[in-house]
Amino acid sequence: MGEVWRAKDLRLARTVAIKACLSEPDARFTAEARVMASLHHPGIVNIYDYGDFYLVMEFVDGLPLSSILDERGALDPATAARLMSEVAQALQAVHDHGIVHRDVKPANILVDSAGNAKLTDFGVAANGGGVDTVQGTARYMAPEQAMGHPVTPAADVYALGAVAYHCLAGLPPFDGEDPVQIALHHIQDALPPLPSETPPALRDAVLRAMAKDPVDRFPSAAAFADALARPSNVDPTLPAMPPVAPLRKRSRRAALAVAAAIALIAMGGLLIAANLNDTSSGGSPIPPPAAPASNHPTPSPLMTEQVRRSAPPTPTPARTTTSPSPARTTVSPTPPQPTPTEPASPPPSAAPAPPLR
């Protein structure tokens, strides 16, 4: 549902992130903004402003966990346990407000330059439990969610367990040729074993979080966080995760091409946008509440510089995988193309005079 761009708020002199959809007004931004505005936790990305075409959010100087896993493969158990414990604490804050995220996955977890995890992308989050619309990403989807049963916080616990499995094994727990095949694996098949170097307590925590029956999982995300944070899961002899790669500028031409399109959402403010390659994904969001009348304050003028994250060569994975399943549909903005200017026609030359006789 849109792309995310790095931007500069000129009034408050701070860097922000803009999630934009330029194809048409999308009332789902209002629903997502309401969910994010109700949540206040250091492990959840903050929201600053929103409109029919965009969200203005806290900028996290780091990378999605999905990019880190693609570049580095499996994480050491201590790092995996710490990151997952931080996300589980954030999920508990989400559940305390009666919200189910429904799309917990590596692409929706940001790791900042200090190595801290933040949960983001509430585009398909549901207020209250019992929502039975199938939404989310098959690779990390709980069995009851895949079968269209009512979804409760236990589904988020399962999804985070699947993310923890991916961090430890370097690959998702199940894969397949399409989302339906992957979902059937989650419903029917036992988990493949985790690497032998996984601490027993950490392995048991992941297996319990991914129990097929929600009753057999941890009773809450907080309980899962406590199990992940046990000292037995942390080996001080293991090296820490290397720092997240810095940002690298992209070409000026691409920035200017997007500038005109992003300017439409600034409501008079000047924008030159920067694509952060948002990997938000999953199915179409839940039917949102009716969008309120346009009485929200006009957003601050923003000016941005286009950048992208540097991506080191992807290491060769130790295990063979099939092609990844398609994620949630993302609408990419189409920058307006410049209209070619026709050259002016030269003035007609005077006809020669007839010869004198």
Residue 205: pLDDT band by 50, 70, 90 thresholds? very high
pLDDT for 345 beyond 60: no
Contact 288/31 with Cβ under 8 angstroms?
Answer: yes
Contact 306/274 with Cβ under 8 angstroms?
Answer: yes
pLDDT for 210 beyond 90: yes
Contact 219/88 with Cβ under 8 angstroms?
Answer: no
Residue 36: pLDDT band by 50, 70, 90 thresholds? confident
pLDDT for 267 beyond 90: no
Residues 194-213, mean pLDDT to the nearest whole number: 95
pLDDT for 206 beyond 60: yes
Residues of the chain with CATH 1.10.510.10: 63-233
Residue 75: pLDDT band by 50, 70, 90 thresholds? very high
pLDDT for 94 beyond 90: yes
Top-confidence range, 58-62, 276-280, 294-298: 58-62
If you search the block for the tokens 């540097």, which residue do you land on?
310
Of residues 295 and 57, the one with the higher pLDDT is 57
Report d(CA 182, CA 185) in Å as an integer: 5
Q: What is the distance, to the nearest Å, from the Cα of residue 87 to the centroid of all Cα atoms in its chain?
A: 14
Question: What is the percentage of the chain residues whose pLDDT exceeds 90?
Answer: 45
- Topology of the domain comprising 63-233: Transferase(Phosphotransferase); domain 1 (1.10.510)
pLDDT for 18 beyond 70: yes
Residues 195-199, mean pLDDT to the nearest whole number: 93
Give the model confidence (pLDDT) of 306-331 as tens digits: 333 334 444 444 444 444 444 443 33
Of residues 47 and 292, the one with the higher pLDDT is 47
CB 314: neighbour CB atoms within 10 A? 11
Averaged confidence pLDDT in the chain: 74
Write out the two tokens for 158. Answer: 């399962």
If you search the block for the tokens 């988990």, which residue do you land on?
191
Task: Please pick, among 9, 76, 103, 156, the residue that the annotation labels catalytic.
Answer: 103
Prediction pTM value:
0.67
pLDDT at 209: 97
Contact 43/54 with Cβ under 8 angstroms?
Answer: no
The answer to which of 79-93, 157-171, 219-233 has the lowest mean pLDDT is 219-233
Residue 249: pLDDT band by 50, 70, 90 thresholds? very low
Active site residue 112: no
pLDDT at 285: 39
pLDDT at 67: 95
Top-confidence range, 104-108, 254-258, 262-266: 104-108
Residue 93: pLDDT band by 50, 70, 90 thresholds? very high
The answer to which of 3-7, 132-136, 179-183, 313-317 has the lowest mean pLDDT is 313-317
The end-to-end CA distance of the chain, in Å, is 82
**Residue 240, helix vs strand vs coil:** coil
